Amino acid sequence: MIEVNIIGTGNVAWHLAKAFASENQIIIMQISGRNPEVLKSFSKFAQETVSLDQLSPAQVNIIAVGDDSIPAVIEALPFSDALVVHTSGFTKLDVYSKEYKSTKRNRLGVFYPLQSFSKEDQDIHFSEIPILIEAQDLKDLKTLRILAEGISTQVKSISSEQRRSLHLAAVFANNFTNHLFTIAQDLCRDSDVPFSYLHALIMKTAAKAILHNPSKIQTGPAIRGDSHVLTTQEHKLSNPEHKEIYRTITKALKTYYGKKL
Amino acid sequence: MIEVNIIGTGNVAWHLAKAFASENQIIIMQISGRNPEVLKSFSKFAQETVSLDQLSPAQVNIIAVGDDSIPAVIEALPFSDALVVHTSGFTKLDVYSKEYKSTKRNRLGVFYPLQSFSKEDQDIHFSEIPILIEAQDLKDLKTLRILAEGISTQVKSISSEQRRSLHLAAVFANNFTNHLFTIAQDLCRDSDVPFSYLHALIMKTAAKAILHNPSKIQTGPAIRGDSHVLTTQEHKLSNPEHKEIYRTITKALKTYYGKKL
């Protein structure tokens, strides 16, 4: 049985609370957030919802807030000598311990679920989501592993540096990719073609990247060196940002595959 | 019952031949290609494999070759008055009919399966792949529809201009996206993190883009305006092409969502 607190009421907090609440071996003692209205919507998951200064230490205290706010929240915790973890892919363990000036010291760790969380998405299956953990103390790492394995089958211990690389890779694989889908959708709309015509291609693109090495299955006019198609397509794009992305990735593809030949 | 010929022995030809061959209502009469060795591997799909000058006209004659070669192949066909279609998303119906100088005229059309085909991919389910058709003649369009509906549930008639837009959208949604997955994989490898940690995120990214409007679910440091994360991540990228892609898409995200706010 592991008792946890959650500090924060954003998307990560919501999906973690939901996943923990559905596990018998995990009990959410308190959830804390600044906005009383939002906090109320979390009450079904926890024994109690409280303001930060009313928080009692649990076995694991999870800070699920934006990167910028992590140090301030740690400073403001009304207890010491407890295990306190953040959920960020970017923020390092040592970076925030350096900034940790308070005399009320807690033991620090990381509990990073690698997924893009949005409120719209009620269909999150935590079992498939990798949870990357880190802690200053070996005993704490063990506690985090037990907690993470309560909701996921993909629990790994990695360093802050590795986590930061993985987070950057996720920016390419998720944030940037999603914007390319948005551009594709805009191009379809501008020509009165349903975006749904691209659905099978989009799913196949993701499935193939997982099944094969994506660099081995690259196709398209850039790596074929089809300059007529490239020139015509670039010309066809009227939005200057779309044009610049087209130009930049085309150039990168030529360099990447040119070097390999 | 529809009788077809296939001219070309690339990936599109291969997957079309395989799909047609598994349908009772479609008969592949002849498959034609330049390379006798490659052509031999197609013999299981067709009644006969022949060189281009031995080709007899079928009800539908499908030219599955690169954009550059389409006009020359049409010129070289040893028959006239038959329905001849190409499989390209880019090449227009009128563009290649303008270039069509031969006196042996055939009736032209388009049979464009919207998918990224590679030989590695034995697991293509044509039923989910949209086939976009076009023809100069209404009767020919009907024939193409019957042929396409023999292998796909997603058959649509669209104009050359729409098809060209869709093809460009597919370059963003497939070619460019796949390169972002390659970069993500390279970043993982450089930090000794398995690329498999990103698999669930990649599948979720695609699934969410289909389920929701991708512009409504965009996340990440660029749209949050988190300049500390943005500066640190850009600095972390050592490959100049990766850095340029990071900068370009980040700028585009700021513009896209800034304008909307």
CA distance A46 to chain B (A): 27
DSSP letter at B176?
A: I
Which helix or strand (DSSP H or E) is residue A9 part of? none
| Residue-by-residue DSSP string for A135-202 | ESSHHHHHHHHHHHHTT-S-EEE--HHHHHHHHHHHIIIIIIHHHHHHHHHHHHHHTT--GGGGHHHH
**Residue B114 in contact with residue B15, Cβ under 8 Å?**
no
Distance separating alpha carbons of residues B122 and B118, to the nearest angstrom: 8
Would you call A156 exposed, middle or buried from its count of C-beta atoms within 10 A (0-12, 13-18, 19+)?
A: buried
Pick from B104, B86, B82: nearest CA to B96: B86
What residues in A contact B90, CB-CB < 8 Å? 221, 229, 232-233
Strands A83-86 and B2-7: unpaired
Would you call B61 exposed, middle or buried from its count of C-beta atoms within 10 A (0-12, 13-18, 19+)?
A: buried
pLDDT at B118 (0 to 100): 78
pLDDT at A139 (0 to 100): 97
> Do residue B168 and residue A256 have CB atoms under 8 angstroms apart?
no
> Do residue B219 and residue A177 have CB atoms under 8 angstroms apart?
no
CA distance A47 to chain B (A): 31
Distance separating alpha carbons of residues B24 and B214, to the nearest angstrom: 40
Mutant choice from A204, A212, A254, A255 vs B, greatest count of B C-beta within 10 A: A204
Nearest CA in chain B to A242: B252
Strand residue runs (E) in chain A: 2-7, 26-32, 48-50, 60-63, 83-86, 107-113, 131-135, 155-157
CA distance A126 to chain B (A): 10
Does B16 score more than 60 pLDDT? Answer: yes
The alpha carbon of residue B96 and the mean position of all alpha carbons in its chain are separated, in whole angstroms, by: 19
Per DSSP, the three-state class of A2 is: strand
What residues in B contact A127, CB-CB < 8 Å? none
The amino acid at residue B182 is: T
CA distance A56 to chain B (A): 31
Q: Model confidence over B120-155: pLDDT tens digits? A: 777 788 898 999 999 999 999 999 999 999 999 999
Pick from A178, A220, A140: nearest CA to B175: A220
DSSP letter at B100?
A: -
pLDDT, average across residues B157-162: 96
Q: So what's the ipTM on this one?
A: 0.92
Per DSSP, the three-state class of A127 is: helix
> Do residue B210 and residue A220 have CB atoms under 8 angstroms apart?
no
pLDDT, average across residues B48-62: 96
Q: Model confidence over B194-212: pLDDT tens digits? A: 999 999 999 999 999 999 9
Terminal-residue alpha carbon distance, chain A:
56
Q: Please state, for a pLDDT cut of 70, what percent of chain B lies above it.
A: 95
Q: Sorting pLDDT into bands at 50, 70 and 90, what band is B261?
A: very low
Distance separating alpha carbons of residues B190 and A128, to the nearest angstrom: 24
Pick from B202, B181, B244, B187: nearest CA to A161: B187
Does B99 score more than 80 pLDDT? Answer: no
**Residue A41 in contact with residue A18, Cβ under 8 Å?**
no
> Do residue B181 and residue A177 have CB atoms under 8 angstroms apart?
yes
The two three-digit tokens of residue A164, written as one number: 């930061």
> Do residue A209 and residue B201 have CB atoms under 8 angstroms apart?
no
Mutant choice from B131, B181, B230, B246 vs A, greatest count of A C-beta within 10 A: B181
The two three-digit tokens of residue A192, written as one number: 């009165």
Tokens 């949005």 correspond to A118
Cα dihedral sign, A48-A50-A54-A57? positive
Mutant choice from B69, B127, B175 vs A, greatest count of A C-beta within 10 A: B175
Give the CA angle between residues B189, B177, A249 to the nearest 5°: 90
Q: Please state, for a pLDDT cut of 90, what percent of chain B lies above it.
A: 82
Mutant choice from B95, B172, B232 vs A, greatest count of A C-beta within 10 A: B172
| Cβ-proximal residues to B29 (8 Å cutoff; 6+ apart), any chain | B3, B4, B5, B46, B47, B48, B56, B58
pLDDT at A49 (0 to 100): 95
Label each residue of A177-196 as H, E or C: HHHHHHHHHHHHHHCCCCHH
Distance separating alpha carbons of residues A180 and B245, to the nearest angstrom: 12
Give the C-alpha distances (Å, rounded to integers) separating A204 from A211, A213, B58, B126.
10, 14, 32, 12
| Cβ-proximal residues to B80 (8 Å cutoff; 6+ apart), any chain | B104, B105, B106
**Nearest beta carbon to residue A241 from set B115, B158, B256:** B256
Q: What is the pLDDT along chain A (261 residues), one digit of tens a residue?
A: 999 999 999 999 999 999 999 999 999 999 999 999 999 999 999 999 999 999 999 999 999 999 989 988 998 999 999 999 999 999 988 755 555 555 568 999 999 999 988 777 777 888 989 999 999 999 999 999 999 999 999 999 999 999 999 999 999 999 999 999 999 999 999 999 999 999 999 999 999 999 999 999 999 999 988 899 999 999 999 999 999 999 999 999 999 998 544
Its pTM stands at 0.92
Strand residue runs (E) in B114-252: 131-135, 155-157
> Do residue B200 and residue A154 have CB atoms under 8 angstroms apart?
yes
